[in-house]
């Protein structure tokens, strides 16, 4: 297996292992919470490099769409565990902000950074817009599903006293939409891999030569999950020590740290003139957060948290999410991007983050 991995991937593996060991040592020795918090976040970022390079190896065999789906699925494992650990500690406000922050971080900060990197190095980049348009449409749908219980809860209408049931219904619908979207995308990609005049390969048939990169993906994702546990354990004392508000911490700090797996991949693909991979990989992650991770945490929360997690978010948070999804849809709709559009996306993320600095 070692021979199947590139030298840079072996170096990234060594760095990720060393930093993860350092974070574990800090936890074992009882280091101050800000130090444990920072070390765990750094280890997650290092593991992002490992997953980024192994995803690129997978992408050479399964294409951009399959790369995005596989990367987002494995990459979101730490985010799921961060959410579970935070729910067990009753940090509902942090969890809500982190879920929205992960979506905003991927769609604005990461996608914008990829556009800046790819646009400055290679000029205007063009890609097939069909799949990104579908992703953007589904993200808009998910935002609408979050908006309904939020408005019902804050407008004090008849549904306000049933926010838990309404959230469960919305979560169930989002899971159904996610399952249908995965089935649709995988079947279409299978047909797309067939040669002209030949039948599509059987649904679910894995491409050859995936053993080594997939093994690395699984190992790095498992390590990221362990580091996420240490990260959440230091979260509350670090918030108090650093003077941060729970909402800002969830929206920016937790979202970026737990979403670090995706932060490196889209930019890496953009720098290597692979715009289709950059866009599909980056948008796959927030789509899975919106349609899979968020409803899963809502339905699991009665078993995990002192109080159930509902989809009643702060109105400004949902409004910012809706505005961001409209902007992202407009940017990807024409099938090309420039570095200036990337600057705009990063700028919008900065504005939203600033709006929540005070809580």
Q: What is the pLDDT of residues 293-333, one digit of tens each?
A: 999 999 999 998 888 999 999 999 999 999 999 999 999 99
pLDDT at 199: 43
Q: Which residues of 214-250 are buried (b: 16+ CB within 10 A; e: fewer)?
A: bebbebbbebbbbbbebbbbbbbebbeeeebbbbbbb
Report how far residue 14's alpha carbon sits from residue 29's, in angstroms, rounded to the nearest whole number: 22
**Do 45 and 263 contact (CB within 8 A), yes or no?**
yes
* Residue 71 pLDDT class (50, 70, 90 cuts): low
pLDDT at 2: 53
Exposure on the CB side of residue 246, measured as CA atoms within 13 A: 11
Percentage of the chain beyond pLDDT 70 is 84
The fold of 2-355 is A middle domain of Talin 1 (1.20.1420)
**129 DSSP 8-state letter:** -
Beta strand spans in the chain (E): 125-126, 336-337
- Domain boundary assignment for the chain: 2-355
According to DSSP, the β-strands at 125-126 and 336-337 are antiparallel
pLDDT at 205: 44
Whether 161 shows a pLDDT value over 50: the answer reads yes
**Do 195 and 341 contact (CB within 8 A), yes or no?**
no
Report how far residue 21's alpha carbon sits from residue 18's, in angstroms, rounded to the nearest whole number: 5
> What mean pLDDT comes out for the span 107-122?
93
Average model confidence (pLDDT) across the chain:
83
Range in 165-179, 245-259, 310-324 with the lowest mean pLDDT? 245-259
Q: What angle do CA 288, 291, 295 make, to 5 degrees?
A: 115
SS3 30: coil
* Nearest CA among 298, 271, 269, 296 for reference residue 282: 269
**Do 72 and 262 contact (CB within 8 A), yes or no?**
yes
Report how far residue 356's alpha carbon sits from residue 237's, in angstroms, rounded to the nearest whole number: 20
**pLDDT tens, residue by residue, 131-143:** 899 999 999 999 9
* Residue 75 pLDDT class (50, 70, 90 cuts): low
Neighbours of 348 (CB within 10 A): 20
**Do 38 and 246 contact (CB within 8 A), yes or no?**
no
């Amino acid at each position: 297996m070692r021979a199947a991995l590139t030298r840079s991937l072996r170096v990234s593996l060594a760095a990720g292992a060393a930093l993860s060991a350092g974070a574990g040592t800090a936890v074992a020795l009882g280091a101050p919470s800000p130090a444990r918090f920072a070390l765990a976040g750094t280890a997650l970022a290092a593991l992002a490099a490992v997953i980024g390079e192994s995803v690129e190896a997978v992408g050479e065999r399964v294409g951009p769409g399959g790369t995005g789906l596989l990367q987002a699925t494995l990459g979101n494992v730490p985010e799921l565990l961060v959410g579970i650990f935070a729910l067990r500690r009753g940090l509902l406000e942090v969890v809500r902000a982190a879920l929205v922050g992960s979506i905003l971080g991927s769609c604005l900060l990461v996608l914008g950074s990829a556009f800046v990197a790819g646009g400055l190095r290679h000029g205007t980049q063009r890609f097939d817009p069909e799949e990104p348009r579908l992703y953007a449409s589904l993200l808009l749908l998910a935002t609408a599903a979050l908006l309904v219980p939020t408005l019902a809860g804050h407008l004090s209408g008849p549904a306000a006293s049933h926010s838990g049931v309404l959230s469960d219904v919305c979560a169930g619908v989002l899971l159904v939409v996610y399952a249908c979207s995965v089935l649709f995308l995988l079947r279409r990609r299978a047909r797309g891999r067939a040669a002209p005049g030949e039948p599509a390969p059987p649904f679910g048939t894995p491409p050859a030569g995936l053993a080594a990169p997939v093994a690395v993906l699984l190992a790095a994702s498992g390590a990221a999950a362990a580091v996420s546990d240490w990260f959440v354990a230091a979260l509350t004392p670090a918030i108090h020590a650093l003077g941060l508000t729970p909402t800002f911490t969830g929206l920016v700090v937790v979202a970026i740290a737990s979403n670090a797996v995706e932060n490196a991949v889209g930019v890496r693909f953009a720098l290597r003139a692979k715009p289709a991979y950059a866009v599909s990989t980056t948008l796959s992650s927030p789509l899975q957060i919106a349609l899979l991770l968020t409803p899963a945490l809502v339905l699991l929360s009665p078993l995990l948290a002192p109080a159930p997690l509902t989809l009643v978010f702060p109105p400004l948070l949902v409004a910012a999410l809706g505005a961001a999804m409209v902007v992202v849809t407009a940017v990807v709709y024409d099938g090309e991007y420039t570095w200036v559009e990337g600057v705009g996306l990063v700028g919008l993320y900065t504005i939203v983050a600033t709006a929540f600095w005070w809580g």
